[in-house]
Amino acid sequence: MNEEKKFVVKEVYAILPGEGQLGEGMFYKHLWKLPIPSKVKGLISRGTHNHLQTMGNLKKGKIIDDTTSFECISCNSSIEITTHLLFKCKFSYSIGARCYEWYGDERVLPADYFNHFWQHRGNINGKKTILAWGAVWASVIWALWKHRNDIKFNGVSRNLGVAMDALKHRAWTWCKANIHGFNSSLYVWSLDLANYLAQLI
């Protein structure tokens, strides 16, 4: 077994139930290497520590009072806490599912950061492919938080298509700027993601 395959086995092992610590430690190693802006790494890191200013956290910290609605702005059916906002909400789940459609795949999406990431990571091979695919995952998280803020503070309407287009474009921009040899056009990236990633290596 070569070094690359050993690495992949170790990665896949990290997603097994009961291996939360391993999955968590490896998660941050991957996060710091991703070809994404530091502000996005910061957002994701804050989220894993439950430090995002969700309505649930603002209420818990008594920064908002009981008269303020602390429900999720996308579905109005649950308290806006991090795991709901990013993973459990129907809107968030739909964004994740649409991403796998884009890739030509279908997966059940876990409702927590680490397992969600490892599920996304899967058993993809190739250093640059892993980085680009990881940037897609980060772009989903960033898009969900940004879309939530646009709805809340800028009066934007919830729109799956707009959020999807924005996250595809954003991930492409990050990869183009930070992965040597990444030369896909936005057109190819948007329409033929799996084939482009397969040859990126």
Residues that bind Zn ion (CB under 5 A): 72, 74-75, 89
Question: Among residues 74 and 139, whose Cβ is nearest to Zn ion?
Answer: 74
> Shortest distance, CB of residue 116 to Zn ion, whole angstroms?
16
Note whether 140 and 96 are within 8 A (CB): yes
Distance CA 95, CA 101 (A): 10
Residue in 193, 90, 192, 92 with CA at minimum distance from that of residue 136? 193
∠ Cα 76 116 4 (to 5°) = 165
Question: Among residues 11 and 80, whose Cβ is nearest to Zn ion?
Answer: 80
Would you give the end-to-end CA distance of the chain in angstroms?
19
Question: Among residues 15 and 89, whose Cβ is nearest to Zn ion?
Answer: 89
> Shortest distance, CB of residue 107 to Zn ion, whole angstroms?
20
Taking the mean position of all CA atoms in its chain, how far away is CA 19?
Answer: 21
> Shortest distance, CB of residue 89 to Zn ion, whole angstroms?
3
> Shortest distance, CB of residue 63 to Zn ion, whole angstroms?
20
Question: Among residues 83 and 139, whose Cβ is nearest to Zn ion?
Answer: 83
> Shortest distance, CB of residue 71 to Zn ion, whole angstroms?
8
H or E segment to which residue 155 belongs: none
Distances from the Cα of 128 to the Cα of 84, 132, 180, angstroms: 31, 6, 8
Distance CA 78, CA 96 (A): 19
Residues forming beta bridges with residue 79, ordered by sequence position: 71
Question: Among residues 76 and 199, whose Cβ is nearest to Zn ion?
Answer: 76
